[in-house]
Amino acid sequence: PTDAQFVLDALVGQVVPLARHAFGCRVLQRMIEHCTPAQTTPIIDELLEAVDSLLTDQYGNYVVQHVLESGMARHRSAIVHATRGRVHELACHKFASNVMEKCVQHCTPDERHNIILAELLRNGGAPIYSMVGDQYGNYVVQKLIEVCDAPHRERVLAVLRPMLATLDQLCYGKHIIQCMAKHDPALAAYLNATRGASSSSSPTSGAASSSSASSSSSSTAPSVAGVGAGPGCVLSPPTAPASATA
């Protein structure tokens, strides 16, 4: 709106300090949301000059997220390219992980493949193995599963399937499994079958129950269509399938 132009004019030259301020960041967010691209371009261009540090800033990250949601294509692209080589690090950062989720959601398919997945699928998907157990990184993995096209989603799922038993034991792993099942019919069928079998079984005695629990905790989960490798350490991934390598 034209009646906000005087505010935008006053922001020029002070955008980065304001982005790092608890109240200033909110003013910038509202301007980016409600003003026209022609009006916001000068302040966004100024903001992008310091995007590397704003990604991890406790307030600046919110402004960067708003640019990803409401900015022009070239602005979104500049932010995504600023994450190159830092995707794993940023995905596991308390503040930057929110930006990475928005990058995954709003970047182009080529950027998602060549910048984000190219880093996370290296070394057989080792970065993804560590992210699924991270309190912030697991949300980025879920977002990848949700928004990737079918071929690239399958590459992520191929990394995760061999560690299904490990995921089931992790605090955040169950959310990953639920997200996987939404996009993997074979996995969904496997989970429904195993849960149904578990709920229908009833031990005849306390001793039998204890024995069953002990056996369950030490056994390897059955393998169905590549699902259910035995439990292991998330940070020491097993050899990934050829299809999962970058």
Nearest partner of 157 among 133, 177, 135, judged by Cα: 177
Q: Which pTM value belongs to this model?
A: 0.79
* Cα–Cα distances in angstroms (integers) from residue 87 to residues 2, 10, 155, 221, in the given order: 38, 34, 17, 32
Per-residue pLDDT, 1: 67
Per-residue pLDDT, 4: 83
CB atoms within 10 A of CB 201: 8
Burial state string for 113-132 with b = 16 or more CB within 10 A and e = fewer than 16: bebbbebbbeebbbbbbbbb
* Cα–Cα distances in angstroms (integers) from residue 213 to residues 173, 205, 220, 229, in the given order: 21, 12, 13, 19
- Location of structure tokens 């880093």: 119
pLDDT per position in the chain (246 positions), as tens?
677 888 999 999 999 999 999 999 999 999 999 999 999 999 999 999 999 999 999 999 999 999 999 999 999 999 999 999 999 999 999 999 999 999 999 999 999 999 999 999 999 999 999 999 999 999 999 999 999 999 999 999 999 999 999 999 999 999 999 999 999 999 999 888 887 766 665 454 444 444 443 343 333 333 333 443 333 333 444 444 444 443
Residues 25, 219: Cα–Cα separation, whole Å: 52
Residues 134, 159: Cα–Cα separation, whole Å: 16
The partner residues of 101 in beta bridges, in order of sequence, read: none
- Paired tokens of 240: 């990934």
Per-residue pLDDT, 78: 98
Per-residue pLDDT, 201: 57
Quick one: residue 218, left, alpha or beta (phi over 0 = left, psi -120 to 50 = alpha)?
A: alpha
Per-residue pLDDT, 138: 97
